[in-house]
Amino acid sequence: MLFSQATYIERRRQLRDLVGDGIILLFGNNNSPMNYPNNGYKFRQDSSFLYFTGQHREGLTLAIDCNSGKEILFGDEVSIDDIVWYGKVKSAAEMAEESGIAELRPYGRLADLVAEAKGRTIHYLPPYRHENMIEIMNLLGIKPEEQKAHSSVTLIKAIVKLRSIKSEEEIAELERAAAIGYKMHTTAMKLATLPGMTEAYISGVIEGIACSLGSNISFGNIVTMHGEIMHGCPSPVVLEPGRLLLVDAGAETFEHYCSDNTRTMPISGKFTQKQRDIVQIVADCHDLALTFAKPGLRWYDTHMAVCRLMTERLKDLGLMKGNTDDAVAAGAHAMFMPHGLGHMMGMDVHDMEGLGQNYVGYDDTIQPSSQFGLASLRFARKLEVGHVITDEPGIYFIPDLIDDWQRNGTNADFICFDKVNEYRDFGGVRIEDDVLITPDGCRFLGEDRIPYHPADVEEFIAKSKE
């Protein structure tokens, strides 16, 4: 376990108090077969189950009775077969004891607990693994397609409240993920300018860095010359000097605390003036968020401040026109940045997204927008000390989107389409770091900064060749 037994006991006590009534069932994950049952994907524990138990094994469910305070871990003991194939692992009884859970019962007895609970509220989270959907159907008789609607909003809100505020010890683990992210990104930057290099090679090497340090990647690497594709996959094509390479990748420690960074670098080692102009705008937007965000302000306000600065600077380049506030209110800048400024990050790279984005990023005071661009802002609510949010502005030239808006006259009062069309083959730029909200404001996670200002990127690349 990463943290002390007392930490997990206290987290469960807080959860019981917040939920107040009924029985909470927290389902751990199972092994997922890749192409036949014994050849599985790498095991990944459910983040909420891990948050409240600290245990990584498959086939476990935790039941918490909010009224009596009773806690039961359901899980089968390791068999002699398990020991023959996988070695002598921690027993289920040892796990329960280590986590401070008073009782262990065989997994098959979970159905008895549910049967005995007739008439009481059973709280469960929206499931995302099919094995758990089948389990919920068997236990509660709710069809998979109806399970999300029946999941417990009380439980979701309680868990979001607890997991949103990162403790000192959690921040220390996020810093470990950031240090691995630094190694991944600086390695990518050194490789990008080598002759014959490919996106796939860089992706493989940086994934190897995370794995070789006992960690994993926090999401599928985005390594692409087509930075204008938000989640572009690495391909084995050779990198072309003159173009930009966008690398968006992060590490996830063994305990599932994440990093998420993006850098955009010149494959030639030097930016062209056209590239430098755009990268500098994105870098300035990135820095603005850091000076702006603080407890009590909404992340929405940070997003909007960045959108205004971006619009001003795109006007200076002749790519946009008109009144800045009106352009931003109309969502015109979203042709260049069709996503939000950032998302919460923690034990999931998009932290708790599976519980429902609106519970994580929005609340009674601010509701999601349906406007193109703003609708993709995953986190908007008031910032609190201990929040960790990504700051990831970007400028993209997406030929199909440009054509679509030009054809339909979308925001024609604010977009200079003739000029924009000169950038059709530009690609895209994103810069991303992870921001911790502190009592005085905020700071980037990670002791070492991966270079992102154009001059710093060029200097880093030049030095790496000495």
**Positions in the binding site for ligand GLY (CB under 6 A):** 219, 248, 260, 343
Measured CA to CA, the distance from residue 260 to residue 452 in angstroms comes to: 14
List residues bridging with 443 in a β-sheet: 436
Q: Does 260 bind Mn ion (CB under 5 A)?
A: yes
Minimum distance from residue 232 beta carbon to ligand GLY (Å): 11
User: Which residue among 203, 218, 275, 390 contacts Mn ion (CB under 5 A)?
Assistant: 390
Of 9-17, 57-65, 331-339, 382-390, which part binds Mn ion (CB under 5 A)?
A: 382-390
Q: Does 135 bind Mn ion (CB under 5 A)?
A: no
Q: Which is nearer to ligand GLY, 163 or 378 (CB)?
A: 378
Minimum distance from residue 246 beta carbon to ligand GLY (Å): 11
Complete DSSP assignment for 58-90 = SS-EEEEETTT--EEEE-PPPPHHHHHHH-SPP
Q: HSE (CB half, 13 Å, CA atoms) of 410?
A: 16
User: Closest Cα to residue 394, out of 285, 269, 260, 233?
Assistant: 285
Q: 348 is in the binding site of which of ligand GLY, Mn ion, none (Cβ under 5 to 8 A by kind)?
A: none
Evaluate whether 387 touches 348 at the Cβ level (below 8 Å). no
Q: Which is nearer to Mn ion, 18 or 230 (CB)?
A: 230
Q: Which is nearer to ligand GLY, 327 or 344 (CB)?
A: 344
Complete DSSP assignment for 412-432 = TTTB-HHHHGGGTT--EEE-B
Minimum distance from residue 238 beta carbon to Mn ion (Å): 27
What would the two tokens of residue 420 be?
Answer: 């924009």
Q: Which is nearer to ligand GLY, 252 or 260 (CB)?
A: 260
Q: Which is nearer to ligand GLY, 219 or 359 (CB)?
A: 219
Helix 273-292 to helix 299-316 angle, to the nearest 10 degrees?
Answer: 150
Q: Which is nearer to Mn ion, 135 or 433 (CB)?
A: 433
Of 256-264, 274-282, 317-325, 405-413, which part binds Mn ion (CB under 5 A)?
A: 256-264
- Size of the chain, expressed as the number of residues it contains: 466
Evaluate whether 390 touches 250 at the Cβ level (below 8 Å). no
Measured CA to CA, the distance from residue 43 to residue 75 in angstroms comes to: 16
Of 136-144, 216-224, 386-394, 439-447, which part binds Mn ion (CB under 5 A)?
A: 386-394
Q: 417 is in the binding site of which of ligand GLY, Mn ion, none (Cβ under 5 to 8 A by kind)?
A: none
Q: Which is nearer to ligand GLY, 199 or 260 (CB)?
A: 260
Of 159-167, 205-213, 257-265, 441-449, which part binds Mn ion (CB under 5 A)?
A: 257-265
What would the two tokens of residue 342 be?
Answer: 């950032």
Minimum distance from residue 390 beta carbon to ligand GLY (Å): 6
Minimum distance from residue 112 beta carbon to Mn ion (Å): 43
State the distance between the two ends of the chain, measured CA to CA, in whole angstroms.
43
Minimum distance from residue 191 beta carbon to ligand GLY (Å): 20
Minimum distance from residue 314 beta carbon to Mn ion (Å): 22
Of 23-31, 231-239, 258-266, 295-303, which part binds Mn ion (CB under 5 A)?
A: 258-266
Amino acid sitting at position 163: R
Q: Which is nearer to ligand GLY, 3 or 219 (CB)?
A: 219
Evaluate whether 129 touches 29 at the Cβ level (below 8 Å). yes
Complete DSSP assignment for 22-44 = SEEEEEPP---EEEETTEEPPP-
Place of tokens 């059973």: 122
- Burial per residue of 429-453, b for 16 or more beta-carbon CB atoms within 10 angstroms, e otherwise: bbbbbbbbbeeeebebbbeeebbbb
Q: Which is nearer to Mn ion, 207 or 260 (CB)?
A: 260
Q: Which is nearer to ligand GLY, 219 or 417 (CB)?
A: 219
User: Closest Cα to residue 386, out of 158, 157, 161, 164?
Assistant: 164
Of 8-16, 174-182, 293-301, 383-391, which part binds Mn ion (CB under 5 A)?
A: 383-391
Minimum distance from residue 249 beta carbon to ligand GLY (Å): 8
Question: Strands, DSSP E only, in 137-293?
Answer: 216-217, 222-224, 244-249, 251-252, 261-266
Q: 263 is in the binding site of which of Mn ion, ligand GLY, none (Cβ under 5 to 8 A by kind)?
A: none
Minimum distance from residue 319 beta carbon to ligand GLY (Å): 25
Total residues in contact with Mn ion, by rule CB under 5 A? 2
Q: 12 is in the binding site of which of Mn ion, ligand GLY, none (Cβ under 5 to 8 A by kind)?
A: none
Measured CA to CA, the distance from residue 373 to residue 277 in angstroms comes to: 22
Minimum distance from residue 304 beta carbon to Mn ion (Å): 19
User: Closest Cα to residue 415, out of 289, 304, 330, 301?
Assistant: 330
Q: Which is nearer to ligand GLY, 18 or 179 (CB)?
A: 179
Minimum distance from residue 343 beta carbon to ligand GLY (Å): 6
Binding site for Mn ion (CB under 5 A): 260, 390
